[in-house]
Amino acid sequence: MKKVKLKVPATVANLVCGFDILGMAVHDPYDEMEFKLLDTPEIIIKHQDAFGLPEKASENVAGIVLLKIQEHLNLSHGFEVIIRKHIKPGSGLGSSAASAAGAAFGANLLLKNILSKDEMVHFAMFGEELASGVRHADNIAPCLYGGITLVKSADPVDIIPLNAPQLFVAAVHPQVEVKTSDSRQILKKNISLKSAVEQWGNIAGLIAGIQKNDFSLIGRSLHDVIIEPVRSILIPKFDEIKLKSLEMGALGGGISGSGPSVFMLTEQKETAEKISQMMKSVYDSTGIESFVYVSKINPSGIQIVEEAYP
Active-site positions read 128, 180
Asked if 118 is part of the footprint of ligand HSE (rule: CB under 6 A), the reply reads: no
Q: How far apart are CA 186 and CA 199, in angstroms?
A: 19
Which residue of 5, 86, 184, 223 would you call a contact of ligand HSE, by CB under 6 A?
A: 184
Tally the residues of the chain: 310
Q: List phi, psi (to 5°) of 27.
A: -95, -30
Q: Are 62 and 81 in contact (CB under 8 A)?
A: yes
Near ligand HSE by CB under 6 A, which window of 30-38, 132-140, 238-246, 287-295? 132-140
Asked if 91 is part of the footprint of ligand HSE (rule: CB under 6 A), the reply reads: no
Asked if 138 is part of the footprint of ligand HSE (rule: CB under 6 A), the reply reads: yes
Asked if 119 is part of the footprint of ligand HSE (rule: CB under 6 A), the reply reads: no
Nearest residue to ligand HSE on Cβ basis: 257
Taking the complex as a whole, the smallest distance from the CB of residue 271 to ligand HSE amounts, in Å, to 26
The interaxial angle of helices 61-73 and 117-132, nearest 10 deg, is 130
95 carries a ligand binding annotation: yes
Near ligand HSE by CB under 6 A, which window of 57-65, 103-111, 136-144, 290-298? 136-144
Near ligand HSE by CB under 6 A, which window of 11-19, 72-80, 145-153, 163-171? 11-19
Asked if 139 is part of the footprint of ligand HSE (rule: CB under 6 A), the reply reads: yes
Residues in contact with ligand HSE by the rule CB under 6 A: 13-14, 19-20, 92, 136, 138-139, 180, 184, 257-258
